[in-house]
Amino acid sequence: MLDSFANKFRGIVLAFVVLLLSAVFALQFGGPQAEGCASGGQGGALAKVYGSKITQSEYQAAYMLAGGEGYSDDRAKENKLEQMVLYGLIERSLLARQAREVGFDVEDEAVLAKAAEDGVLHLSISVNAGPMLPRSGPQRFDFKDKDGKFLFHIVDGAGKPVPVWDWRRYYDVNVDEKLFEEYRRFSRFKHKDLAPYSEYVKARGLRWPVVQGADGAWRETRYRFVEGEDPYVKAGAGVSFYHSTSHDDRAQIWSHPYEPPPESPDNDFPFWLCTGRVIEHWHTGSMTMRIPPLRDAMPNAYVEMNREDARRLKIANGETVRLETRRGALELPVWLDGRGAPPRGSLFVPFFDQELLINELTLDAHDPISKQPDYKKCAVRVLKLGAKGTPA
């Protein structure tokens, strides 16, 4: 009982400290505390608060949660929504830092976690904010639908709801399976039928559409749009592209003039640099690097190169080398005979590592039609480092 009282008292004091600090910040600074803060930070950080980074990914997630996507560009600009979201993230870090200084063990994320647990956000909106933004003060929110049911409603085998938002109950059911089965229902709308979760556990991958036969077995499609292989191709059709927008079951091919790469290897930069993903991390590591098993399995970026190229340059496995392009340089450890098999003259570097930003070396060119940035390939050279870490 004493422990319970102590925890409640501690929570009340922490809430008081947070509210008091919020008032101090609002009165003294009218926004984020200036000392120790810098927006537009270096090294992949949108802002830094006493060395603690606020990444672009964190900002984008916060902007979405703030409802920013519901505003037109003009209205968001009028209400200074981008600045306010960034100020909110900075203030979150400052509040957590001040709480630590007075003896509380709290991380930045705990400030938001507390709000999510209580279902209340204490907003501090600038007096200069436009009329479309909410007013300052407590704002209640929850994750329930109009009928009061939790949006991520999951039940166990007996049909009883399981509060999976409580981490202590998360593994009472297979949440992955529950979510997959809900998603699987939508796969049938475009003839991309997926098999049940349990089938993928056994088969370790099936090519869709996956349909169930009369014998109850699930069968993958080896060759899509081919009669006898794809169950959605009608008998006698042979080959049928049944999703053709011309509605004649024919493939549609667009011809465009050849566009050469904006940059190719030459005598100064003789290698192709290719970037991509690793299985442990989705895009950047802003979320997956926070999961210890994934972080431990793939803790940092590297460069894969062909063994013949490494032998010619006298580079050993695990050795740190310097990659240089016309835009920047980066030092990375070499991984020979790793997961990939780069052909001679080609290097591969994953882009998940926020501390080793490979995209600072890549191109800023983009496709003129799709506007897709050309981050995947550019010309690069490899420099072996000397004893003191300088290019040999």
Pick from 321, 356, 324, 353: nearest CA to 336: 321
Instruction: Specify the residue for token string 């894969």.
Output: 304
Tokens describing residue 340 = 């990939």
Q: Is 25 within 8 Å of 33 (Cβ atoms)?
A: yes
Of the candidates 55, 52, 180, the one whose C-alpha atom is nearest the C-alpha of residue 106 is 52
**Residues forming CATH 2.40.40.20 domain(s) in the chain:** 271-384
Report how far Cα 299 is from the mean position of its chain's Cα atoms: 16
Q: What is the per-residue pLDDT for 328? A: 93
Q: Nearest-CA neighbor of 361 among 388, 341, 382? A: 382
Helix (H) or strand (E) holding 384: strand 377-384
**Res 107: pLDDT:** 59
Question: What pLDDT does residue 125 have?
Answer: 43
Cα–Cα distance measured from residue 78 to residue 63, given in angstroms and rounded to the nearest whole number: 15
d(CA 98, CA 64): 27
Contact present, 242 and 232 (Cβ < 8 Å): yes
Q: Are 208 and 221 in contact (CB under 8 A)?
A: yes
Q: What is the pLDDT of residue 112?
A: 54
The reported pTM is 0.50
At residue 116, the pLDDT reads: 52
Residue 65 CB contacts under 8 Å (≥ 6 apart), including other chains: none
Q: What is the mean pLDDT of each run of 10 residues along the chain (392 residues)?
A: 43 42 36 44 54 67 64 70 70 65 58 54 46 50 61 77 76 84 82 88 86 87 90 89 86 85 93 92 82 89 95 94 95 92 94 89 85 89 72 46
Helix (H) or strand (E) holding 303: strand 303-305
- The CA R_g of the chain, rounded to the nearest whole Å, is 27
Residue 279: φ, ψ to 5° = -65, -25
| Chosen CATH of 271-384 out of 3.40.190.10, 2.60.40.10, 2.40.40.20, 3.40.50.2000 | 2.40.40.20
Give the C-alpha separation, 374 to 356, whole Å: 19
For residues 379 and 264, the answer to whether their CB atoms sit within 8 Å is: yes
Report the distance separating Cα 375 and Cα 275, nearest Å: 7
Contact criterion met (CB below 8 Å) for 325 and 269: yes
AA letter at 358: I
Nearest to 380 by CA among 353, 365, 360, 362: 362
SS3 315: coil
